[in-house]
Homo-oligomer: A and B are copies of this chain.
Amino acid sequence: MMAAPRLFVDDDLGEGNEIRLDKQRSHYLRSVMRLNAGASVRLFNGRQGEWRSQIADAGKSVTLKVGENRRAQQQATELWLVFAPIKKDRMDFLIEKATELGVTDLLPVITRRTIVSRVNTDRLKAQVIEASEQCERLDIPTVHEAVKLSDLKSAWPDDRVAFVLDEAGSGGSAAVAMSAKAGHPAACISGPEGGYEKSELDLLRTLPNFVPVSLGPRILRAETAALTSLAIWQSVCGDGEAPPVPQALRD
């Protein structure tokens, strides 16, 4: 059985509510998915869990009638990714995968070797919504405005562990280092292509809970390193042992 389409909406969700979709989502359901009145659509808003709904009107503006609540909202385990922006295709991929891997906060940082001068946060926000719809999560990662690496320290929470992916090799195995900090709020900090400059690494070392981690002998591309660290963290400290959302809740 095909899963019912799943959409993120801003509206409040409750049984009997009517939700009118914008042009783009209306087009998606009507013309791309070819759905008609009566078809099932799942809705979530990041606050109230997931709700079944039915298409009430498949006209130019699709209207949905909200049915029963199928999944209660859950508080996602916080996991930040602090990353240096990279080239478009690779960044698209990074954002999609980081969302699938359960990141709750995306913090772009501008480093000396960052070659991307401007971060289009609206584009990132659209990407995290699409990836969240796809991967069955109930929340949407928060996309923060880009900051300079030199400004990161002043904003750093005292209790948050900073797992810095360090190609200079001062760290131990990521799985070992991360499991030693299980239960602590965490951030993975990945660099630009070409890595951090020495002065930047020195700055990162002054973060209150700095933990350098190694990802093995190969030199990973920026986006590979970021995703690898998130994958390992989820598996040893996060929700890697939770079973996948059952098929029965996806119709």
A interface residues with partner B (beta carbon < 8 Å): 93, 96-97, 100-102, 134-137, 167-169, 172-176, 214-221, 224, 227-228, 231-232, 234-236, 238-247
Query: A247 CB to closest chain B CB, in angstroms?
Result: 8
A244 touches B219 (CB 8 A): yes
Of the candidates B136, B168, B175, the one whose C-beta lies within 8 Å of that of A219 is B136
Report Cα–Cα, A235/B243, bound state, in Å: 21
Report Cα–Cα, A239/B217, bound state, in Å: 7
Report Cα–Cα, A207/B247, bound state, in Å: 25
Of the candidates B134, B169, B175, B228, the one whose C-beta lies within 8 Å of that of A175 is B175
Query: A73 CB to closest chain B CB, in angstroms?
Result: 13
Beta-carbon nearest neighbor of A173 in chain B? B241
Given known A173-B240, A175-B175, A241-B173, contact A136–B215 (CB-CB < 8 A):
no
B235 touches A217 (CB 8 A): no
Given known A136-B219, A232-B231, A235-B215, contact A169–B240 (CB-CB < 8 A):
no
Q: Which of A216, A220, A224, A246 has the most CB of B within 10 A?
A: A216
Beta-carbon nearest neighbor of A170 in chain B? B243
B residues in contact with A174, CB < 8 Å:
235, 240
B residues in contact with A220, CB < 8 Å:
100-101, 135
Of the candidates B134, B231, B239, B242, the one whose C-beta lies within 8 Å of that of A221 is B134
B residues in contact with A242, CB < 8 Å:
214, 216-217
Report Cα–Cα, A15/B220, bound state, in Å: 29
B224 touches A97 (CB 8 A): yes
**A–B Cβ pairs within 8 angstroms, 24 of them:** A93-B93, A97-B224, A97-B227, A100-B218, A100-B224, A102-B216, A135-B219, A136-B217, A136-B218, A168-B244, A168-B247, A169-B243, A173-B241, A174-B240, A175-B175, A175-B232, A214-B240, A215-B234, A215-B244, A216-B235, A216-B238, A217-B239, A219-B244, A231-B232
